[in-house]
Structure 1
Amino acid sequence: MELFAWLNAQLLRMDWLAALVRLLLEEGLGLDTASRVGASVHFFIYDVIKIFILLGVLIFSISWVQSYFPPERTRRILGGLRGVRANLMGALLGTVTPFCSCSSIPLFIGFTSSGLPLGVTFAFLISSPLVDLASVILLASIFNWSIALAYVLLGIVLAVLGGSLIGRARMERHVEAFVMHNKVLDLPASQLSRRDRLQFSWEQVREVFGRVWLYVLIGVGIGAAIHNWIPQDMVLALLGEDRWWAVPLATLVGVPMYADIFGTLPIAEALVAKGVGLGTALAFMMAVTALSLPSLIMLKKVVKGPLLALFFSIVLVGIMLIGVLFNRFAYLLI
């Protein structure tokens, strides 16, 4: 256990990086990292570098694995399953796709046009932005593995239940016609060389970085401000654990926003450090990533109003329930 704790501290939390940044700021620039300004600068530089390092390594590794599972192969694997098992596989597939909610929608179109059941594709659509492996490891680096694994479990449960409810609602008629007839082009995994896989993985890293770098900077900046400048009493007055409205408010505030989970994690970290309930912070994070306004606008282009409303309602209620559960039982995970 001591070895695991050491590896977790050095490889995920990167304590060595925190110490190095502190040394450079104090010895190189003469900045007191115990002061409000110094602590903010240290928080910003350390978190940005840590997230980018982890993100690059994880996206490359996950993309390499993904190169063996093109859409057609995935369709064949999922096509032989039905019911909850199929929805579970769709949700698990979402955990290995490093996409935000907007980027998941083209894959949702591809899977639907390939003939996969609607419940499976929505299980994937819910799971993909919430519980991809990169974000889970980042979550463990900020909090701990117990919290990260509990988050994964509840996220998958939400995706499976959401997919199952949508599948049972028989709402295929509320999917736009062009989705059902969209052509899916695919390249068999067997035709990809090692060089192709390296190029694909590197391109995925570049694409993800190009999409998230600004949100990471903004998220870490907001986190640094919350952590060092906003009074704790003010934060607790709005989002304290004893406030019954904390989880619903955090969820509803997150919906109009748009950012990848990598940009919202530092905000969640800062909120928890200020005394906000873990479930409240995670509910905000999940709402931003799974129910962002831009993703809902994109989804409206491929599904009709009743199906969109059902999807939104299921995920919104699910996120609030997960937030309440984390607030209630967080002490078991710390």
Structure 2
Amino acid sequence: MTSINADRPTSAGRRGRLRHAALLAVAGLGWLALYLVNEPFWNLIVYRLAGQDQASRLGSGLHFFGYDTVKIVLLLVGIIFVVTVARSFLSLERARALLGGRREGMANVAAAGLGVATPFCSCSAVPAFIGFVAAGVPLGVTLSFLIASPLINEVAVVLLYGMFGLKIAALYVGSGLVIATVAGYVLGRICPQRWVESFVFTSTLHGAPVAAGQRLSWADRTAIGREEVVKILRKVWPYLLVGIGLGAFIHGWVPADFFVAVAGADNPFAPLVAVAIGVPLYSNAAGILPLVEVLHAKGVAMGTVLAFMMSVVALSLPELILLRRVLRPPLLATFVGVVATGIIATGYLFNAIL
């Protein structure tokens, strides 16, 4: 009797895991089916049922808006869910431990790579910064993490790959890592401690997404993934719709000559202008990439549009306002100048090699 009772929880647990795996498989197949039928669906709606001409401005604009909205939402749901589940295995304490005791330089490289693996949005910039500094991670290394985390966005990587191919996506990741590593190292050489608010060094704020020693089941991890999908979609949907709407407007109505004249290949200051325009804006990679795709299709050079995108996601005005809580104006201005210089240089480099 004891043996039977001991086996029951194991059997129930096994059935629960199998049922959970089956539900995930069904959800994955449903996601794939929706992604595959997206373009035929909007072809039917816009061109056949609504009777719009595929070559017309209105028809192409409506199709762009509907198709890209569904495509990007599906990609966001899939990517956020997978990344969140993967990230549940890495707490902020573990992240700090990975960077502790390393020499600057190598630590900057590790921090930039960790920033890619643990992407935080701009609203998390201050807690992440305080947690790393309070744990004894050098400021320059912390700044490498802080730059890489929003700059090299997993959504942007996947969408860039889908829009422009592996070469562009790889160049985006590589340039972002170089910017974050070099910028953090340079900032660490100027003794930035004097320009950091004193409370940062004595704070005990941790803010880890997963507590140290916490054991999560796969059901827990998928529940966290679902919650993160809902939370992020609630935050980004206005910017997503605005970005896609601007892309559809440009796609259908704005003449290509306008963008070629302002930021085309013949304008030697195009990357500089793109960064100057991008810094005051606030969006994320999902919201800005539809606009990037359209601007490139209209003739704007790839380096210029990527410089614009990087400036929007890495140097957004709301993030800088948040960082002002922990960085004094001299360090904040230096931070912006160093990162902006790296982004502008990347824009010129991409324009030269692509």
Q: Same fold (TM over 0.5)?
A: yes
Return 297-306 or 16-25, whichever deviates more. Answer: 16-25
> Which whole-Å deviations, capped at 9, do the CAs of 1:33-91 have from their partners, x for residues lacking one?
32110100110111111111111111111111111111111111111322122111111
Give the C-alpha shift of residue 15 in structure 1.
6.8
Q: Is the 8 A contact 1:251 1:287 kept in 2?
A: yes
* Structure 2 residue 336 is the aligned partner of structure 1 residue 312: yes
**RMSD value, Cα:** 1.7
Out of 250, 257, 280, the residue aligned to residue 281 of structure 2 is 257
2:126 to 105, 108, 129: 105
Structure-2 change in CA distance of 1:318 and 1:199 (3 Å) = same
Equivalence map 1:239-318=2 (5 Å): 239-318=263-342
Q: Which deviates more, 177-186 or 228-237?
A: 177-186
Question: Is the 2:128–2:207 Cα contact (8 Å) retained in structure 1?
Answer: no
Counterpart Cα distance in 2 of 1:64 and 1:38: 39
Q: 2:39 aligns with which of 11, 18, 34?
A: 18
**Which deviations, in whole Å up to 9, do the C-alpha atoms of 1:163-201 show, x marking residues without a partner?**
111112221121112222222255125422333322222
Write the distance in 2 (CA, Å) between the matches of 1:78 and 1:311. 21
Q: Which runs of 5+ in 1 are unaligned?
A: 1-10
Match of 1:6 in 2: none
Checking the alignment, whether the CA contact within 8 Å between 2:126 and 2:323 is kept in structure 1 is yes
Q: Is the 8 A contact 2:81 2:228 kept in 1?
A: yes
CA distance in 2, matches of 1:165, 1:270: 35
C-alpha spacing 1:45/1:260, structure 2 compared with 1 (3 Å): same
- TM-score of the aligned structures, taking structure 1 as reference length: 0.91
Q: State whether structure 2 residue 223 is matched by structure 1 residue 199.
A: yes
Q: 312-321 or 124-133: which moved more? A: 124-133
* Pairing partner for 1:213 from 237, 247, 253: 237
8 Å CA contact retained: 1:94, 1:132: no
Partner residue in 1 for 2:12: none
Decide whether the 8 Å contact of 1:126 with 1:290 is kept in 2: yes
Task: Report the TM-score, using the length of structure 2 for normalisation.
Answer: 0.86
1:249-308 C-alpha deviation (Å, 9 max, x unpaired): 111011111111111111111110010011111111111111111111111111111211
Equivalent in 49, 53, 57 of residue 74 of structure 2 = 53
State whether residues 105 and 299 of structure 1, in contact with CA within 8 Å, keep that contact through their aligned partners in structure 2.
yes
Q: Give the Å deviation of 1:31.
A: 2.5
Q: What is the CA–CA distance in structure 1 between the aligned matches of 2:293 and 2:139, rounded to whole Å?
A: 35
Equivalences for 1:124-139 in 2 at 5 Å? 124-139=145-160
Kindly report structure 1 stretches of 4+ aligned residues shifted beyond 6 Å. none
- Asked whether the 8 Å contact 1:97–1:132 carries over to 2, the reply is no
2:336 maps to 1:326: no
Letter in 1 for 2:70: I
Q: In terms of Rg, which structure is larger? A: 2
SS in structure 1 opposite 2:327?
A: coil
Query: What does residue 227 of structure 1 align with?
Result: 251
Inter-partner Cα distance in structure 1 for 2:251 and 2:226: 34
Distance 1:96 1:314, change over 3 A: same
**Alpha-carbon distance between aligned partners in 1 of 2:219 and 2:203, rounded to the nearest angstrom:** 30
Aligned mates of 1:192, 1:176 — CA distance in 2 = 36
| Distance in 2 between residues matched to 1:96 and 1:54, nearest whole Å | 18
Q: Give the paired residue count.
A: 319
Pairing 1:67-216 to 2, within 5 Å after superposition: 67-183=88-204, 184=206, 186=208, 187-216=211-240
- Check the 8 A contact 2:125/2:322 in 1, yes or no: no
Query: AA paired with 1:209?
Result: L
Give the secondary structure class of the aligned counterpart of 1:188.
coil
Contact 1:250 1:283 in 2 (8 A): yes
C-alpha distance in structure 2 between counterparts of 1:209 and 1:96, whole Å: 20
CA distance in 1, matches of 2:170, 2:224: 29
Identity of aligned residues (%): 44
Contact 1:100 1:261 in 2 (8 A): no
Indicate conservation of the 8 Å contact 2:131/2:207, yes or no.
no
Distance 1:22 1:104 in 2: 41
**8 Å contact 1:59–1:98 — kept in the other structure?**
no
Distance 1:168 1:284 in 2: 28
